[in-house]
Amino acid sequence: MNDEFTTFKRRNKPLPNSPTFYTPSITIDLEDEDKKNHSYSMNRNVHSHPSIDSNDCDFEASYTNPSSSQNSKRLASAPPLRDAYKYHKKPLGLFEYFKIKAKENKSDFLIALALTIFAMFTRLYKISYRDTVTWDEAHFGKFGAYYINRTFYHDVHPPLAKMLVALAEVIAGHNGTFNFDSDNALCVISKFILLDQPLLFFTALSILCFAQFTCYRRNPFSNEWWIWLTFSGLSLGCVLSSKWIGLFCVATVGLATIDHLWEMYGKPAMPVDIYLNHWAARILCLICVPILVYLFAFYIHFLVLINDGAGAHHMSSNFQAGMIGHNLNAQPINVANNSTGRLRSYYPRAGLLHSHNRVYPLNDQHNQVTSYQSKEMNNLWRILLGRLGENSKPDEYGYFREGDILKFVHLNSSRTLRVISQPAPVTSEDMMVSCYNNIKMEDLGDSDMWELRFYKQQGKLKDKILHPMLTKFSLRNLKYDCILRTHTKKLPIWGYYQNEVTCVKAINVPKKLGDDMLWNVEEHRNTKLQNDNMRKYVKSNFLINFAQINLAMAQTNNGLVADKDKYNPIESSPDTWPFLYSPMRMVGWGDKEIKYYEIGNPILWWASSLLCFLFPIQYIISFIYEKRRKALDQFSKPNGKHKYESVNFRETTATDYMTSYGELNSKKYWLGAKLLWSGWFFHYFPFFLMGRVTYLHHYLPALYFALLFLAFQIDYFSRYITNKKNVRMQIFIFCAVIAGLVFLFFFPFTVGYDKPAKNLATRTWRKSWNVYQDLLEL
């Protein structure tokens, strides 16, 4: 090889009269032992012709010897190394970019327009056919009405998608008075008021924005690069704010981002400060921005829902007191002797101190004491003064002060809260708490006496008087010197799976009490005292409310467990989804009812699932093939000379995923294939780890990625088989026709079928399908 330089050239198809953009020379120091004294330089002239292909560009790579006078001048005049990471042509404005792309790719534009029109038709056709509430519309339609009425509610999902449902209802003229009493699959699910449509929309938007961002990977920190990266973060925030399944979309983009950062880490030419800037930009846009969007969705949620509602009991006392129409607003500001009220634990997943007429299995003299979320008569207690504390003085109203000794009598049973010298039924290291018959007072001793210990006075009032919601306190049993405590541990079936309440021994009490040992009087009534407006004294913190509602959502979500001893035709397990083992009846199946059947396009489901499951094998085979090819290339080159690749990426049309000859290990192919396959993987396999009940529609986000992956693979393999465009087009048309015919074959289930189901018995392609008969139900 010549000491001056050696030049490698790709195909050169110069375009006449085409202006060029100058690309600075890129100089990269070699780390190989045999190239210590050489540097690597690349020059590329990029034509701005609209139909330009990167393979038609001039490309030249050369080794230069710095000792050569000619090359010394070239290196001296070269721009700084960091200029190698600037884009190679003048950036276009965002809308100018779309305008040019639309002109260049008219076929893509027409295809997208046709698909949009077809999608609108399939979703709007017979959309008013069934005029009754269908399936989960009983929940999500009602939630939309709650926003219109500004009534607080509780649900397991974040609020953004439901706020969009409410917006649609407002546009449609709904006044909030209707109560909503209670592929083909992608199409039928979009006909109803559900959260899956916004979820799929924001999922698609996230992938679109991230794909556009990857087009500027080699043009970092340009305006377009920042715009698409920010849009990616905003979209991820929206998908996460619609349903928690959006976390899987975040994981998909996150894995692709880490893969790209790892790739950049392996480039010796990458300056450290620029590499750290890449990390900072992605942390800002792909982590901070989604979190801010998620927080903002809940901020709007709290801002709109200001009226008291059925779900308010999941929130803190302070939050409830700030709601219009809530009974916590009007109550006496001081708690006094003979007040009747409710005690709430500060532990988020516990609830109110509760008792009922069921007894413990090993002690039938004592009623159970638990903590329970819902407000009812069984969590009302009469609070009595046992005796004054050492520093307390009697007053006219009998206000409770720190150090006073109190007794709690259950209002319904008239039994007293006490501790008995037995281990708690679940937490055996603690003592059992029960309600005992007050007639046998001689048996109680001081086991029913509780010392009031203040932990913190919240709000403006800093005196030593017990205030509802404002005073955070603990209760110490006088006889056994233990602290009243609530657990997240549940009692068995004999305790109705309610939270256990125990008394923790003093030797086991930490120096700083946890929330499970702290209580407040949430509300009380006393005929001797006048009501006050608690909104003057109580303030809630947004971040605390945000944390609490998310914990409540998680708790409710974990409680949605399937009954394994009972067959439910609409439930299904994740292993049945990819190959469409059990489609779902969305409504009743009477002969005269309008029937909707959530069944996908079987050909698309089966083909996409097969390719997704086979992709790891394809990846392993290709990895081995590439390793062997590199080894053979190494042996076939004289003196072990190395090849180098361009750092530049070319822009492509929507259908140009691979190189012109469909190279087996095209970098661009693997970039797209890994993104789509990981999207399917992250949206599917986590359901195997969930304990909650699952349905077929949970697979739809994974199906979205699987269908994109199917189209991606068809395009790739058609290019690998042939480079004739007309042959590839025939393959595409054949696949589209087959998919379209199968869609039409199952179309009656998508738009609603009002005739006997036995007329469609021929559409039962698998024995497990309950199109006509449900074999598992017989």
- 710's tokens: 């199917």
What's the residue count for the chain? Answer: 778
Write down which residue in 27, 50, 79 finishes a domain: 79
Q: Are residues 70 and 122 in the same domain?
A: no
Of the two residues 675 and 317, the one the predictor is more confident about is: 675
- Residue 134 pLDDT level (bands cut at 50, 70, 90): low
Q: What is the pLDDT of residue 103?
A: 61
Q: Are both 286 and 410 inside the same structural domain?
A: no
Residue range 158-216, pLDDT digits in tens: 888 888 877 877 777 765 555 555 466 767 667 667 778 889 999 999 999 999 898 88
In angstroms, how far is CA 701 from the centroid of its own chain?
A: 12
pLDDT tens for 523-566 read 999 999 999 988 888 888 899 899 989 988 888 888 777 666 66
Count of Cβ atoms closer than 10 Å to residue 272 Cβ: 7
> Is 324 part of a structural domain of the chain?
no
Residue 159 and residue 54 share a domain: no
The arithmetic mean of pLDDT across residues 8-22, rounded, is 37
- Does 521 fall in a domain? yes
Considering the entire predicted model, what is its pTM? 0.74
User: Is 566 part of a structural domain of the chain?
Assistant: no
Please name which of 139, 228, 234, 240 lies closest in space to residue 182, comparing C-alpha atoms.
139
Residue 586, token pair as written in the block = 């969305």
Q: Is-contact 269 216, C-beta < 8 A?
A: no
Q: Are residues 344 and 276 in the same domain?
A: no
Q: What is the pLDDT of residues 274-285, one digit of tens each?
A: 999 999 999 999
Name the strand (E) or helix (H) holding 681: helix 667-684
- Which H or E run includes 69? helix 69-77
308 in any annotated domain:
no
Is the four-CA dihedral 123, 128, 129, 135 of positive or negative sign? positive
Report the half-sphere exposure of 527 (CA within 13 A, side-chain side): 2
Residue 114 has pLDDT above 80, yes or no: yes
Per residue in 607-623, pLDDT (tens digit) is 999 999 999 999 898 88
Confidence of residue 399 (pLDDT cuts 50, 70, 90): very high
Give burial (CB, 10 Å; 0-12/13-18/19+) of 46. Answer: buried
Which among 661, 658, 753, 633 has a CA at the least distance from the CA of 712? 658
Confidence of residue 394 (pLDDT cuts 50, 70, 90): confident
Choose among 480, 463, 491: nearest CA to 355.
491
Least confident of 290-304, 437-451, 569-583, 687-701: 437-451
Q: Is 478 helix (H, G, I), strand (E, B) or coil?
A: coil
Element (H, E) at 345: strand 339-345
Residues 345, 291 share a domain: no
Instruction: For 70-103, give the secondary structure using H, E and C.
Output: HHHHHHHHCCCHHHHHCCCCCCCCHHHHHHHHHH
Quote the pLDDT of residue 445.
77
Q: Answer yes or no: do 184 and 259 share one domain.
A: yes
Q: 243 CB contacts (<8 Å, ≥6 apart)? A: 157, 158, 161, 195, 199
Selection from 27, 38, 32 nearest residue 67 by Cα: 38
* Same domain (yes/no): 172, 239: yes
DSSP string, 631-680: HHHHHHSGGGPPP---S------TT--S-TT--TT-HHHHHHHHHHHHHH
Dist. CA 482–CA 432, nearest whole Å: 11
* Residue pair 312/328 in contact by the 8 Å Cβ criterion: no
567 part of a folded domain = no
How far, CA to CA in Å, does 753 sit from each of 126, 585, 741? 11, 12, 18
Helix ranges restricted to H, 307-402? 317-321
CB neighbours (10 Å) of residue 259? Answer: 14
Task: Find the helix or strand (DSSP H, E) in which 235 lies.
Answer: helix 223-242
Q: Is pLDDT above 50 for 45? A: no
109/100 Cα distance (integer angstroms): 12
- Give pLDDT, residue 368: 95
Which residue is listed with tokens 């038609």? Answer: 56
Q: Distance between CA atoms of 22 and 2, rounded to whole angstroms?
A: 27
Give the count of beta carbons closer than 10 Å to the beta carbon of residue 771.
22
The tokens 């090359």 sit on which residue? 71
Would you call 286 helix, strand, or coil by DSSP? Answer: helix
Report the 10 Å Cβ neighbour count for 761: 12
Cα 378 from Cα 370, distance rounded (Å): 10
Question: What is the CB neighbour count within 10 angstroms for residue 314?
Answer: 24
Rounded to an integer, what distance in angstroms lies between the CA atom of residue 362 and that of residue 285? Answer: 58
Residue 626: per-residue pLDDT: 78
Confidence of residue 133 (pLDDT cuts 50, 70, 90): low
- Using 50, 70 and 90 to split pLDDT, how confident is the model at 686? very high
What pLDDT score was predicted for residue 27? 34
Last residue of a domain, one of 507, 535, 563: 535
Q: Which of 53-57, 68-72, 532-536 has maximum average pLDDT?
A: 532-536
The per-residue pLDDT for 100 is 56
pLDDT of residue 46: 35
- pLDDT at 541 (0 to 100): 87
In whole angstroms, what is the distance from residue 355 CA to residue 376 CA? 11
Query: What is the structure's pLDDT at 565?
Result: 63
Does 674 map to a domain?
yes
Supply the pLDDT for residue 426.
93
3-class SS shares of the chain: helix, strand, coil, % to 5? 45, 15, 40
Q: Tell me which range, 20-24, 36-40, 440-444, is most confidently predicted by mean pLDDT.
A: 440-444
Instruction: For tokens 């004289």, name the residue.
Output: 638
Q: Does position 147 have pLDDT exceeding 90, yes or no?
A: no
Most confident of 107-111, 118-122, 151-155, 702-706: 702-706
Task: Summarize pLDDT for 467-484 with one digit per residue, the tens.
Answer: 999 999 999 999 999 999
Summary mean pLDDT of the chain: 78
- Expressed as residue numbers, the domain containing 37 is 7-79
CA atoms within 13 A on the CB side of 619: 15
Same domain, 66 and 102: no
Q: Which two tokens stand for residue 47?
A: 């034509």
Q: Are residues 527 and 619 in the same domain?
A: no
Q: Is 152 exposed, middle or buried (0-12, 13-18, 19+ CB in 10 A)?
A: buried
Q: For residue range 322-340, what is the model confidence (pLDDT) as tens digits?
A: 888 888 888 999 999 999 9
If pLDDT is split at 50, 70 and 90, which confidence band does 101 have? low
What average pLDDT does range 422-445 have in this prediction? Answer: 82
- Distance CA(206)–CA(201), nearest Å, equals 9
Domain co-membership, 347 together with 406: yes
Sign of CA dihedral 418, 421, 425, 426: positive
pLDDT surpasses 90 at 250: yes
Structure tokens, 119: 């999608």
Looking at the structure of the chain, the number of domains it has is 4
- Asked if residue 328 is part of any domain, the answer here is no
H or E element that contains 544: helix 542-558
The segment with the largest mean pLDDT, out of 44-53, 110-119, 170-179, 222-231, is: 222-231
How does residue 412 score in pLDDT terms, banded at 50, 70 and 90? very high
Phi-psi region of 463 (alpha: psi -120 to 50; beta: other; left: phi over 0): beta
What six digits make up the tokens of 651? 């822009």
pLDDT recorded at residue 635: 65
**Would you say residue 54 has pLDDT above 60?**
no
Paired residues of 294 in beta bridges: none
% of the chain residues with pLDDT over 70: 75
Greater confidence (623 vs 659) lies with 623
DSSP output for 407-465: EEEETTT-PEEEEEEEE-SSSTTSEEEEEE-TT-GGGTTTTT-EEEEEEEE-SS--SSB
Assess whether 724 and 578 both reside in one domain.
Answer: yes
Of 484, 511, 535, which residue is a domain's last?
A: 535
Under a CB-based contact definition with an 8 Å cutoff, are residues 530 and 409 in contact? Answer: no
How much of the chain, in percent, has pLDDT values that exceed 90? 35
**Co-location of 431 and 361 in the same domain:** yes
45 within domain boundaries = yes
What band does 25 get if pLDDT is binned at 50, 70 and 90? Answer: very low
Rg (alpha carbons) of the chain, rounded to whole number: 34
Angle between helices 246-265 and 700-721 (to 10 degrees): 40
CA distances from 469 to 9, 282, 618 (A): 78, 43, 62
